[in-house]
Structure 1
């Protein structure tokens, strides 16, 4: 018997219970995989990082199977394929890779200006380094770089956005799923600014229908870190820097919806999980 009779944000107690428990188990599995290895070594030690890579990649590879099982059991067997539902497809991929990342860079306008002021690189030298294969070989050999820029963004967005959001949307609706999804990470791990960031990447995932945008935004934010506001206060050009901080925030909110307009990205598969008459502006 199908449990999808009403899936526009009020999917019934059985469907909601299954969805919430499934997401909680996924979150516990992901976070638990990071701490399954007992070691006295620090978290940045290559041995610890490699072990965590192994366990978290296993959980990440099993997560789509978990979503497929949920889909089969709850009756959502028709419509977009599983990969498309998870945001893995080619339609609109160029826009999905570029526009959300550019939007995130706008938000970090102030920190980027601060970075340029403190490290006045020569543009041509910077481009040469960026295009140098040896530079990328060194990055790929650095376990911390791989964790922060590749493995963590890819696996977290795959599990917490691509696999959890399709399970939540039929129960909570689109807008509430954006707020609810990051809470599963917070319940298991910690409540912090990461919950706000999780809501942002969930918004990007739903608005674009792609996984690549959240992954690239996550990687960029990991590189930038939390804005060094304390250093900005002590900076000799603090007035200029705070002007760009403010400008970046204003432009971000002005461009948030235009740059994530679903018309840039093709059909949004996740919107098929909610009734057309109950879809919010998130999908339009």
Structure 2
């Protein structure tokens, strides 16, 4: 009997990473209950609350307005990661639809859709997102639209290759011979073959989109003050980094840890779902 090497460790890694992602989701949902202070609560006339280092009262210290950094980091889980998840979800839907149609029907439809994706892919993604975010109204919605426009072609390319390879196989031809509609054939026979690479790519992309989102927020093209966005918090800490290090360090660590978590999720899913990445030992 064949035995998969590292099955136990792979399952443990999947459980741990999934638990980490679930923790991020819970923090985003329960931020008002978990945060010891409101996100925008300032020190007011209490000058002693301004720029205080980490302590028992303020675990991550306070910023230049006396706001609790720990509370703002918790609330920040409702901004950057949510924007990243929205970008990946919308890009996945648009790119999958375009890739399925192009790969399945071929011909001039495939040519037209793929040339359209080439137009977007010809421009560096970050540069195009920067231009679009500058034109659109700064904020989560504008940032989501700008990044979605730059991200969907990657999914279209990925799905198109899978759909084109499946479209000519015997069982697909049998579906056509039986008179099954194109929609049913696409959804029940073509799309499932592309689900594994799509799931792996989408999981990894959440981390990548979060990094780009934070970079654009750092440049002032994302959520605007006083929104507790991690990238914006890092930008606002520039003048205090050498003296009050905690203001920008903890939001920056949150960006790094959540992005790394989704990168790990993509790697674990690839190893679990793609047999080409699973080493086997046979007796």
TM-score bracket for this pair, using the shorter chain length:
under 0.3
Structure-2-length-normalised TM-score: 0.27
Structure-1-length-normalised TM-score: 0.27
Higher relative contact order (CA 8 A, sep 6+): 1
Larger Rg: 2
